[in-house]
Amino acid sequence: MAGIYLHIPYCESKCVYCDFYSVAEGEYRDEFVSVLTEEISCRAKEAPRDAVFRSVYFGGGTPSLLSPEEIRSILDTLRECFELDESAEVSMECNPGTVTAESLAGYRACGVNRLSFGVQSFFEDDLAFLSRIHSPEQAKESIEAARQAGFDNISLDLMFSLPGQTASRWSENLRQARELGVTHLSCYSLTVELGTPLASIVNRGEVCMPVQEEDAGLFETTMRTLGDWGFLHYEVSNFARPGFECRHNLVYWNHEPYLGFGPSAHSFTDGKRTWNVTSIDRYIGMVRTSGTARAGGERLTRDQLRTEHVYLGLRSKGIDLEEFRARFGSDLVEDNRERVRMYVERGLLAVEGNRLFVTPAGFLLCDEICAEIN
């Protein structure tokens, strides 16, 4: 499987916690889509040999600030340049405050078949703290409008470990998401990223972030609750109804190739990672001049690929040990015999058949485990 990522950098306002690249909607807005399609066309030869793309993902930023006509133009260019699977998953991130019944119907008509709404919370004060532009009512109305427009694959982003957030409030967020009948939930712990407004107010002592034990308790509640409701926990932060796992997530977690277009977008093909400039004006200028906006790249060594394979696999479905042996020429469990034994005895890792995977308890310490197994 291979995927395509498109970074749409526009936002109406910057969320307090966000460290993704975004700009105000007015910057180069009139020419952005034409430049993006030009980049796609110029880089068509980068596709892996015989690649069939089963995932297209519009991320950002706020892709739903683009009109259905602009989304159609981008998708038409992709279809001209690459072989898209007839049943490809075409996802688009949406802010509930930026969509209407008409725009949602337009997105569906031009080929988008999966929506990811950045809801984050169903409480007004949480949304205000996070600098979200929508209300809880708008979120619910947007999801219902999406369903009316023909979308049956709808995901929500929710955020826990907000300052002062109680277990009951978090459980209420999960309950309301379930009542909306969505097929996928991405549940993230609020983290303080350097350079964000959140980092500034935390450093000034204006807010106090939850301690590690509180964060772990909310994550345990998430896993237990969604598991009881029939959601599959297929990656550390992602839960899906059976059959609705995000294909684009799986491209990343299965260490499969993907192409990224737009400012700050990354690509990974044939063991090489490349990335575009993180600047809208430089992006526009470079694409107009040379057809690409590449800022840098690196050829990963065998050891780096092995480390990434372990990290990505343990954070998701686990590692197929036979496939690992065929790919890297070594036995992962034997190479890490004592560490694996220790984590298995602690109930944090498990080996079943040819698969090594992190248990639900182990997800709480996933980064630590991934750093130890190599």
Which of 253, 288, 306 is a domain's end point? Answer: 253
Domain co-membership, 158 together with 232: yes
For residue 135, how many other CB atoms are within 10 A of its CB? 15
Identify whether residues 211 and 360 lie together within a single domain. Answer: no
**Together in a domain, 248 and 350:** no
- pLDDT at 249 (0 to 100): 94
Q: CATH number, domain at 212? A: 3.20.20.70
- How many structural domains are present in the chain? 2
Cα(299)–Cα(302) distance, integer angstroms:
10
Q: What is the pLDDT of residue 25?
A: 81
Domain containing 341: what range? Answer: 315-372
The DSSP symbol for 315 reads T
In the listed set 253, 282, 305, which residue is the last one of a domain according to the structure?
A: 253
Same domain? 203 vs 327: no
Question: Within this chain, do residues 339 and 212 fall inside the same structural domain, yes or no?
Answer: no
- Bridge partners for 356 per DSSP: 319, 351
The pLDDT value recorded for residue 18 is: 86
248, 321: one domain: no
- Assigned token pair, 78: 């992709």
> Structure tokens of 17?
């916690």
C-alpha span between 163 and 208 (Å, rounded): 6
Query: pLDDT value at position 349?
Result: 95
H-helix segments, 95-246: 101-109, 124-130, 136-148, 167-179, 197-203, 212-228
- Asked if 22 and 115 sit in the same domain, the reply is yes
CB contact burial 9-38 (16+ within 10 A = b; e otherwise) = bbbeeebbbbeebbbebeebeeebbebbbb
Please indicate, yes or no, if residue 279 is contained in any of the structural domains: no
In angstroms, the Cα distances linking 95 to 102, 186, 192, 199 are 15, 15, 22, 23
pLDDT for residue 66: 96
Instruction: Give the per-residue pLDDT at 314.
Output: 94
Among 253, 286, 303, the domain-final residue is 253
In order along the chain (374 residues), what is the average pLDDT of each group of 10 residues? 95 86 87 97 91 96 96 98 96 95 97 97 95 94 97 97 95 97 96 89 90 93 97 96 96 94 96 96 97 96 93 93 93 92 94 93 90 87
pLDDT digits (tens, 9 = 90+) for 206-261: 988 999 999 999 999 999 999 999 999 999 999 999 999 999 999 999 999 999 99
Give the pLDDT of residue 367. Answer: 87
